[in-house]
Chains A and B, each alone.
Chain A
Amino acid sequence: MSGRARLSLGQRLVLALPYAYLTLFFLAPFALIVKISLSQQAIAMPPYAPVLAWSDGPAIWWEKAQNLGLDSYRVLFADAIYLDAALSSLFVATVSTLIALAIGFPLALAIARSPERWRPLFVMLAVAPFWTSFLVRVYAWIMILKDEGLLNHALLALGLISEPLEIFATRGAVILGVVYSYLPFMILPLYAALEKQDAALREAAADLGATPWRVFASVTLPLSLPGIVAGCMLVFIPAMGEFVIPDLLGGSDTLMIGRQLWNEFFSNRDWPTASAVAIMLLALILAPLTLYERHRIAQEGGK
């Protein structure tokens, strides 16, 4: 593989488009957020002190730069609510990801091992929830989980419980909502990884004396690792920033960083702090991603 191959004009253009898109819609807004996070809250429109402007010129830039500060970030560490929210998000996202993996892996495996003509149907069923609006589905969970909801009614009617269970407005309800909403994102990459595995590899392992469990542990599982990582990322990352599910299913005490972000922006109108929270969230997500990427590159280099 030579990475130094010259690119034709057409190839450059094709590559330039996504980069331009990312610069315009990701990098530029990100720079804006960084800028706001360094500013001070102000009663103005927009509600923060103006930061650097092109028209100012170097002298005023210097003066203004003195006023820029990490105040918003200090707030994040001074007030325990942000750290709590971050830890709570981390907890919810991690637990939800693990539960989704525990449910998704056997499901994906079952689909991948089912007769070939049935597989498209099963995959379609796995993504069928996407056919209705996300919000509608989360609202439906309220109807099921609340104290006088379907679940409690059913359990009471069956005589399994004597008093309604308090599920709604708890962290458990949030985790349930996250697992439910993001499960298809776990199943699809797992299915893709499992489905393309050559059945002859499992036969070869069995032929060499591996019990079915050893075949799974030494062949099926390691070969589906890329799918596991992709599925976990696809669940963990949105779960970290999720604010609709905690807002609808969580209680007032269910802190999550995405919800905190929303509060800062729209309830407190504290844009600098909100921006700082956003950057903290990004760091929390990027850290494991970077670690994984480094590990992957090290592995490939060692091949």
Chain B
Amino acid sequence: MGGDALIQIEGVTKRFGAATTLDALSLDVARGEFFALLGPSGCGKTTLMRLVAGFETPDAGRIVIDGVDMAGTPPHRRPVNMMFQSYALFPHMSVAKNIAYGLVQEGLPRADIDARVGEMLKLTQLEGLEGRKPHQLSGGQRQRVALARALAKRPKVLLLDEPLGALDRKLREETQFELVRLRERLGMTFIVVTHDQDEAMVMASRIAIMSAGHIEQIGPPAEVYDRPRNRHVAGFIGEINIFEGEIESDPQGGLRLRGPLGVLRASGGAGGPGGAFALRPERLRLSRTPVAADNMLAGIVRDVAYLGDSMAYRIELADGSILRARSGGAHAQRFAAGDALHCAFDAADVILLAGDGS
């Protein structure tokens, strides 16, 4: 990210007792980004966020925000604000007092505080609720109060810890787009922590996929989906089929994999030891009769699920393994359980996964 990095995390290690939660992790977040830290629970993403906010101190490494090393800077002096997963609204204060809290600490004049609170109420569509106490609000309203309170101080960086985790599905989807629009309007840098890949894909301009205290891959949503680097990323983002075997270069160009299903071909790339081929389910072409293709697998449909916009199949292959396939569109041919199918895919659609530890 070069000179425009607003947050630089350099070799940060955090241990709790004997467990290493973050292992020499480095990461840059650019100014104005909507950055997502994505990973399963326990991968260290929340710890990383708490280190940025200042609630924890790193055992090694440093965190630089806007060119200033944050070592020794307590949470109340950091130019970041956080929206808590539990919202952490002050139960004894009204909505307006909650939103004003950070501004009062700053010692702004009363009139400025009132103006800013009014602005925030409008921004988060909470007008008319300013006199309520948190326990008199719905879950969605509370979420917006938490957001308004964290935004009120106009921090350089807004940290969002599982911001939509407590909302129901419909509200969650609406709010995802709202957050994206909000960030564009305010031009602030947002860092969101989530375990929900859809949420990260919808909102973020860049995603860091974390596991066991380190980062597996960083990139825009399309990149991590289309070109996952290893089995972990491939498995965490979307559905995928993984073919194991020995990878070698193909005399006819590209690579080939020898495995229990015979020989599969992939175009381009270089295979490393321990690597594998992977394929997204929607890249398969299913038919009852064989067609000409780079790769062809025969199988029997075991399970069918109708998903509205597409059909999901689980197909048993010759070696007993299960292949996931998706066919979309209203005019796609449909198959039933028990049908014998040919599953074709192009060498160009094959994703090459690196071996573990590379």
Contact = CB atoms under 8 A, between A and B. Distances in A.
B261 to A, nearest CB: 51
Interface in B109-148: 133, 135-136
A223 to B, nearest CB: 6
A71 interface: no
A117 interface: no
Most buried by B among A200, A204, A206: A204
Given A207-B75, A208-B102, A209-B76, A201 B90 contact: yes
A223 B86 CA distance: 17
A222 B90 CA distance: 10
Contacts of A222: 92
Contacts of A209: 76-77, 102, 105-106, 153
- Chain B: interface residue count, which band? 20 to 34
B68 interface: no
B75 A206 contact: yes
Contacts of A214: 105
Nearest to A203: B55
A218 B102 CA distance: 12
B338 interface: no
B300 interface: no
B84 A203 contact: yes
A210 interface: yes
B234 interface: no
A109 interface: no
B57 to A, nearest CB: 14
Nearest to B74: A206
A147 B54 CA distance: 56
Interface in B80-102: 80-82, 84, 86, 88-92, 101-102
Nearest to B102: A208
A211 B88 contact: no
A198 B92 contact: no
Given A208-B153, A218-B90, 8 more contacts: A207-B53, A207-B55, A208-B81, A208-B150, A210-B101, A223-B92, A303-B133, A303-B136
Interface of B: 53-55, 74-78, 80-82, 84, 86, 88-92, 101-102, 105-106, 133, 135-136, 149-150, 153
Interface of A: 198, 200-201, 203-211, 214, 218-219, 222-223, 303
11 contacts: A200-B84, A201-B88, A204-B88, A206-B75, A207-B76, A208-B76, A208-B81, A209-B77, A209-B106, A211-B105, A223-B92
